[in-house]
Structure 1
Amino acid sequence: MGTERSSGAEGAASGSPDTEGAATGAEDSEGYVPDPRRWKALSVCLVVGFMALLDVSIVNVALPSIEKGLGASESALSWVLSGYALTFGLALVPSGRLGDAYGRRTAFLGGLVLFTVASMACGVAQGASWLVTARLVQGLAGGMLNPQISGMIQQLFRGHERGKAFGLLGSTIGISTAVGPLLGGLLIQAFGADEGWRWVFFVNLPIGVVAFFLALRLVPSTCAERDTAHRKSLDPVGVLLLGLGVVAVMLPLVEERQWHGQGKWLLVLVGAALIGLFLWWERKYLRRGLAPLVDLRLFRARSYSLGVLLGLFYFAGFTTIFFVFTLFLQNGMHYTALQAGLAMTPFAVGSAISAAVGGRFITRVGRPLIAFGLLLVLIGLAGAGVAVDLVRSHSIGWALVAPFLLAGLGSGLVISPNQTLALHSVPVAQGGAAGGVLQTGQRIGSAAGIAAVGAIFFAWLASSRDWATALDHGLLGALGFVAAAFVVAVADVWYGRRYGRRASRADRA
């Protein structure tokens, strides 16, 4: 990364408007010409991204239906849910690197075909093992798709347009995560408890087929990044080390409730050692003049390194909210899957509204906007906890509307703005791999958050036999993760302003 790029990223993080022009100018010098199809191509990418991310949350409410329809065991149900997250996280960085080297359009189309076929295999599954295997493949395909979307935004957009595009991506992430339980509940109610779960997967088929033909027509080939050096050095050793490290870290997290005993946590230490070995190998690989899987020089930019850390903490708290509230509403308050989904819809609405707005203003406001969004999330979640304590009746869903709406408005100012700033200083040719690292941090954060908060939630449920008490303590755990993200954002604002003052004094001198 050049000095000009790094300084542009630092300034953007501190909210300096002058740096956007500097960074944009640097990128324009690479010969950037706006593609007239870029917004149509983005629409196709966002629809596919919505479909892939929806399958993270939509299956939550379908688990009872799967258990009834297939007679699946608790362990199999866990793998239906966690296996998708595991292979999704495993595929992100290698797939991003593959797209950088051989073209994101090619990787995108391949991932889309695999995801659609795997969805069909899930829907026609005749047994639990069949369904688990298909879900693993589906997660792998979802992990192939997501880095291509962020990489293509890097490729197709510049300046304020890029912020707007990432804003739309943030809306997609927020809506897909929050609306999953609602859509799953609607499908199960429409098609019945025995077979309704199949339509949770079948709904992907028409979307996948239509999106494939639209992508063939509208998504441009990204030939610019297919340089010979990238093609000759796909870094298979780096892929293997990172893959094994991610699996070793995530496996005990996603299987925390199924694997009893403390021995499973040794895998986290093994994973940390493998990731340390991966970092050593990447430095060695770069010194040999080859293109590593992840160029560790990316982390020299504060906007990128702190963006990855902030995303990890935030997703550890963000995804956990839907996990504990779904359990509380369905099992504790005896809501149907549809009612539970409706109760959480205000979060999706708020997130969709603010993400689009945040994407427009992030290049001018910078990291303070993200810190403000995190503050809104903290207030909204605290309000949800108060609502649960005050309204212990079936009308709790109405009491959650205002706090969930506020938390959703805050969330929309966090996810896409953080992606925009984190990837601001990343060279376009490395956009896929860099986006893959960012999203891998989010997946690990989600798994760690659900494991930690779930352990707190179930421990209090076992001791108190009170769902509201268990929710209160689980919510405190989620708030802790969001508060950690808030500290990272405030630290970035402070360092950004300090950097800006020093640069201003240097200019005057």
Structure 2
Amino acid sequence: MPHNPAIKPLLQHPDRVDADATAQSDGNARIILGICVAMGFTTLLDQTIFALAVPRLRDGLHASASQLQLIISTYSVAFGVALVPAGRLGDIIGRRSLFLIGLAMFAGFSVLGGLAWSAQTVIAARLLQGLGAGIINTQVLGLIQDLFQGIGRAKALGRYASAGGMSGAVGPLLGGLVLALTPPDIGWRLLFLANVPFGAVIFFLALRHLPRSRSQPQKFSLDTGGLVLLSLITLSLMFATLVGSTGSLSARAYLLAAVAGVPLFVCWEVYYQRRGGTPILARGLVRSPGYVLGTTVAMFQFAAGLTLGIVSALFFLDGLRIGPLLFGALSVSSALGMLASSTRSWRFVSRFGRPGVAFVIAVYAALLVLEGLAILLLPVPGILYVYPVIGLLQGVASGLIHAPNQVMTLAEAGEGEGRGLAAGFLQLSQRLACSIGMSLGAGIFLVRLTSGASLEAYRSAFVAALGLVLALTGGALLAALADMFRRRFATRLT
């Protein structure tokens, strides 16, 4: 039988086929990881820019304190609510279509935010943006878990986490420059619209390079009841934190509703699983102490970081009355620190594991105390000099906490529960905790201030809100220590 000369060399060297296939596969994985990092950069750029826009947006739309709290926190609620169903759908029907749908929502509703005519419109835009970002984020984490294993997965998650550092470096400077060069009521609108060109480029790349995956022959199970109950609990806690009027119910009534909803949620989850469904609190995840404790670390630490960011923006822009460009420049050091450490965090986690993460959380807590003392005691020039130095160290610490904790937490999740489901619940927990933390932190800060408040009042308000951030960090530390001792005990038993 004659041989095709085009394939004869490959027949003589079959190992070349494997090498070429491997190289092609590695190349595709790198392209897909680049798209994931770019998408993470875009959604996180939105958050870093948005913090700068809040005071101008409030003044331009005459938003009340409670509306401002909702504008700040609604995004994270919607983000979290989208994660579990999007993760489950991604496990079953594939990640490409959901990635593209989420990206279209995120970019499209950025336009609505940029054209908003009232505070209520901005709240709606942030809600829908958050849904889109949540759909995207779960697919990104699922793609990374599908394509990489072991140290390769840790490296990939570290690079994805570095997107936070990159966006943190670019966002404040870009946002500050736009706000400095445009009229007050135009600048914050342009910051919303900045998502659109980034989103369009990534949409084209994703459409071309993300793999098409066949639908899996699995029974689709979506825990709608559990998702609704968990969302209502979160919203009740959020409404309990709002400054001023919250409608017909008092803050205490909202708090009691949230507390009463917890056992109802747990009972529903047990019932739903007994019926054969896949609950949000999947049995395999709940029974994994490493996954539960790692998720607790992520919840508290993520909420602490974002709450600190929004309160810092309000303090510097409103209290110290510095320009947005100067505040952006002061904030860059934190992002650079996180970028530098997160790209090498895979080495950190492989060498130090959970004890290393617990130690870095303790260092982060000490830096918060140092920051509070600086804000309370130093004159304004001293604060401006010290803030970027402390921010740099906080950024380095954050980069050594988030990605390593995520790697260890997802490693504790059983494959039978679905990678997308495990990643989705981890992100859901983070985002819901973040929404409550940011709303409560902003409320603690704003309730202590009146029109024309003095610098001393702003100092006091910042330190009060910092107390919440420190408490959240303490919760993360306790969970990390519990997981560390659990691992040591398990090692001794074996």
Question: What is the Cα deviation at residue 389 of structure 1?
Answer: 3.9
Contact 1:34/1:157 (<8 A) preserved: no
Q: Do residues 109 (structure 1) and 100 (structure 2) align? A: yes
Range that drifts further, 208-217 or 359-368: 359-368
Q: Deviations over 1:465-489 (max 9, x none)?
A: 5322332333233222212211211
Structure with max Cα Rg:
2
Question: What is the Cα deviation at residue 362 of structure 1?
Answer: 1.4
- Which residue in 2 is equivalent to 1:19? none
Q: Secondary structure at the match of 1:227?
A: coil
Residue identity matched to 2:388: V
- Structure 1 gaps of 5+ residues are 1-32, 504-509
Question: What is the Cα deviation at residue 421 of structure 1?
Answer: 0.9
Query: 1 CA distance for matches of 2:159 and 2:254?
Result: 37
- Which residue in 1 is equivalent to 2:371? 384
Q: Deviations over 1:339-375 (max 9, x none)?
A: 1222222111111111111133313431112112212
- Which residue in 1 is equivalent to 2:362? 375
- Which residue in 2 is equivalent to 1:27? none
After TM superposition, the structure 1 = structure 2 runs for residues 255-270 of structure 1, keeping only pairs within 5 Å, are: 255-256=242-243, 259=246, 263-270=250-257
Q: TM-score, normalised by structure 2?
A: 0.86
- Which residue in 2 is equivalent to 1:406? 393
Query: 2 CA distance for matches of 1:194 and 1:405?
Result: 32
Question: What is the Cα deviation at residue 434 of structure 1?
Answer: 1.8
After TM superposition, the structure 1 = structure 2 runs for residues 19-418 of structure 1, keeping only pairs within 5 Å, are: 36-70=27-61, 72=63, 74=65, 76-176=67-167, 180-223=171-214, 226-231=215-220, 233-253=221-241, 255-256=242-243, 259=246, 263-418=250-405
Contact 2:237/2:436 (<8 A) preserved: no
Q: Secondary structure at the match of 1:58?
A: helix
Query: 1 CA distance for matches of 2:211 and 2:198?
Result: 20
Contact 1:311/1:442 (<8 A) preserved: yes
Question: What is the Cα deviation at residue 404 of structure 1?
Answer: 1.3
Q: Do residues 480 (structure 1) and 471 (structure 2) align? A: yes
Query: 1 CA distance for matches of 2:256 and 2:367?
Result: 35
- Which residue in 2 is equivalent to 1:441? 429
Q: Deviations over 1:228-279 (max 9, x none)?
A: 3343x234334433343443344434x3565389823433443444443333
Query: 2 CA distance for matches of 1:242 and 1:174?
Result: 31
Question: What is the Cα deviation at residue 451 of structure 1?
Answer: 4.0
Closer/same/farther in 2, CA of residues 144 and 247 from structure 1, 3 Å limit = farther
Q: Secondary structure at the match of 1:438?
A: helix
Q: Deviations over 1:43-95 (max 9, x none)?
A: 11122122223333422321333345445555554443333233222222222
Residue identity matched to 1:323: I
Residue identity matched to 2:294: G
Contact 1:44/1:214 (<8 A) preserved: yes
Q: Deviations over 1:150-197 (max 9, x none)?
A: 121111110001111111222223554676444322221233322111
Contact 1:174/1:411 (<8 A) preserved: no
Contact 1:250/1:444 (<8 A) preserved: no
Contact 2:111/2:196 (<8 A) preserved: yes
Closer/same/farther in 2, CA of residues 191 and 306 from structure 1, 3 Å limit = same
Aligned length: 467
Contact 1:373/1:412 (<8 A) preserved: no
Residue identity matched to 1:205: V
- Which residue in 2 is equivalent to 1:489? 480
Query: 1 CA distance for matches of 2:470 and 2:382?
Result: 24
Identity %: 36
- Which residue in 1 is equivalent to 2:409? 422
Closer/same/farther in 2, CA of residues 260 and 186 from structure 1, 3 Å limit = farther
Contact 2:70/2:439 (<8 A) preserved: no
Residue identity matched to 1:372: F
Question: What is the Cα deviation at residue 395 of structure 1?
Answer: 4.7
Question: What is the Cα deviation at residue 127 of structure 1?
Answer: 4.2
Closer/same/farther in 2, CA of residues 267 and 53 from structure 1, 3 Å limit = farther
Contact 1:65/1:194 (<8 A) preserved: yes
Contact 2:36/2:160 (<8 A) preserved: no
Query: 1 CA distance for matches of 2:111 and 2:86?
Result: 22
Range that drifts further, 471-480 or 403-412: 471-480
CA RMSD of aligned residues (A): 2.8
Question: What is the Cα deviation at residue 502 of structure 1?
Answer: 0.8
Question: What is the Cα deviation at residue 148 of structure 1?
Answer: 1.4
Closer/same/farther in 2, CA of residues 63 and 481 from structure 1, 3 Å limit = closer
Contact 2:44/2:164 (<8 A) preserved: yes
Q: Deviations over 1:308-365 (max 9, x none)?
A: 1111221232222112222221222111112122222211111111111113331343
